[in-house]
Amino acid sequence: MSSQPELLNRRIVLGLSGGVACYKAADLLRELVRAGARVQVVMTEAATQFITPVTMQALSGEPVVVSQWDAREPNNMAHINLTRAADAILVAPASADFIAQIAQGRADELLALLCLARPLSRCALLLAPAMNREMWAHPATQRNVAQVQRDGAFVLGPAAGDQACGEIGDGRMLEAIELRDELVAFFQPKLLAGRSILITAGPTFEAIDPVRGITNHSSGKMGFALARAAAEAGARVTLVAGPVHLPTPRHVRRIDVTSARQMHDAVLPQAPRHDIFVATAAVADWRPASAGEEKLKKDGSGRPPAFELVENPDILATVARLPPEQRPWCVGFAAESHDLLRHAREKLQRKGIPLIVGNLGPATFGRDDNQLVLVDAHGEVELPVASKLTLARELVRVMAERYEARAA
């Protein structure tokens, strides 16, 4: 399974309206091109006061269009020609005035004109607002945003934070990487639309004393990739994460925990509220019966301090044994060091679940790629080496198919 640029062969019109956030558009353009998109930049006259067409042309490799009277178009119909082959128009930044134009169906400049003239059925319009916090909060702006959404546009953001005027609040344009990822997500098939999915990710940490504990090398990257892929597929996602240093995927609700018991206590109330439960977390099987209140010190004897271990609750098995009306469709992960298929199949039967995803943990912990094997009652299917996000998207496809077919 090969990983390829996420926007390969996508044709995007990147529109810039007037605003200081135009400086972010250069980085956004580079990210879109790196992701494989072919990008045509269209700017309003106001946008050219903040960043030059020369810059955007150098980064895109395409002539930048500003005027609807641009004579380079053989028929002088840039507003028609630019959208007929486009998959989407992304306006970033989208100023308050530009959003007002779109809401009212006005076409004072080329960018608004081509948005109005685009084929609605196959050329999406995505708007990334950027304005002062008071402008964003103004009732007129909120009415206009609601109207463009009713008319089929997708509004990305805005974010909250420091603004160029020195104020702090809502209205910042999303960062370039966030907008790239939003555009990537937009094109993903919505295989889990209307579904809810609960995911555990990362290791757990079982305290021995205030400074030491039992844990493992799991980075959480596979679980976080799966959370992102599920959100891209339209699911409502809750992610219960052990102690990891990873950013929360956009549109994902995150619950942070440390120990296996904390993860168990977070998952159990959530499980009946979700359609699918995926246990990717590498949960410690054992914990100290009691943690020392002070650091356990060496006593000069050469012998380590003795402490008793007790078994942690089995989160996946507990969820799989919930009453049918409360039980989500369950998927487990088996990170093994050897005999992967044998251990995965034993775990499938022991947990009583329909699907186990196996991998050799020591070979993939912390890496950005992985190799998986899907094990169920009928056999095994190997997923060859690919990025964890690519594998996560394939897992989402498999889970969506099997979830829908479960009662057939």
List, as one string, the DSSP characters of 266-299.
HHHHHGGG-SEEEE--B--SEEESS--SSPPPP-
DSSP category for residue 271: G
Residue 267 token pair: 């998952």
**Contact assessment for residue 255 and residue 241, using Cβ atoms and an 8 Å cutoff:** yes
**Contact assessment for residue 279 and residue 353, using Cβ atoms and an 8 Å cutoff:** no
Look up residue 18 and give its amino acid. G
Would you call 165 a catalytic residue per the annotation?
yes
> Which residue of the set 115, 123, 165, 330 is catalytic?
165
**Contact assessment for residue 195 and residue 276, using Cβ atoms and an 8 Å cutoff:** yes
Nearest to 214 by CA among 347, 307, 280, 279: 307
CA distance 139 to 160: 18
Q: Which residues contact 333 (CB under 8 A, 6 or more apart)?
A: 222, 278, 279, 280, 281, 282, 356, 357, 358, 359
**Contact assessment for residue 278 and residue 199, using Cβ atoms and an 8 Å cutoff:** yes
Element (H, E) at 394: helix 388-405
Write a three-state SS string for 40-54. EEEECCCHHHCCCHH
Nearest to 278 by CA among 324, 338, 228: 228
**Contact assessment for residue 206 and residue 262, using Cβ atoms and an 8 Å cutoff:** no
CA distance 306 to 285: 18
Nearest to 332 by CA among 351, 314, 309: 351
Residues annotated as catalytic are 165
